[in-house]
Amino acid sequence: MAYSVGSAGSGDHRFSTRCPIQRSKPAAVSISDVTMLAHEIHSLVRADELGRVVALLPEERPYPLASDRLEHLAA
């Protein structure tokens, strides 16, 4: 089962429109039920099938952020 939330500015005002972040383009938001995938991954981890687990996980991408914004974390 998957649910989808309307994009910002689409006229769907069921959610708060007060957002401190100003976007140049509407942000698309979607919510998907990954319960079955989580159960499958859990079973594979318990069976020590880590190679198969890695194949099921999404690619991890770093959030684009200027390096000077992270300096306080390195201290």
**What tokens does 59 get?**
């690619």
What is the model's pTM?
Answer: 0.48
User: pLDDT of the chain along its 75 residues, tens only?
Assistant: 433 344 444 444 454 555 555 666 666 678 889 999 999 999 999 999 999 999 999 888 888 888 788 788 776
What is the three-state SS of 13-69? CCCCCCCCCCCCCCCCEEEECCHHHHHHHHHHHHCCCHHHHHHHCCCCCCCCCCHHH
DSSP state of 6: P
Q: Which residues make beta-bridge pairs with 51? A: none
**What tokens does 19 get?**
């957002």
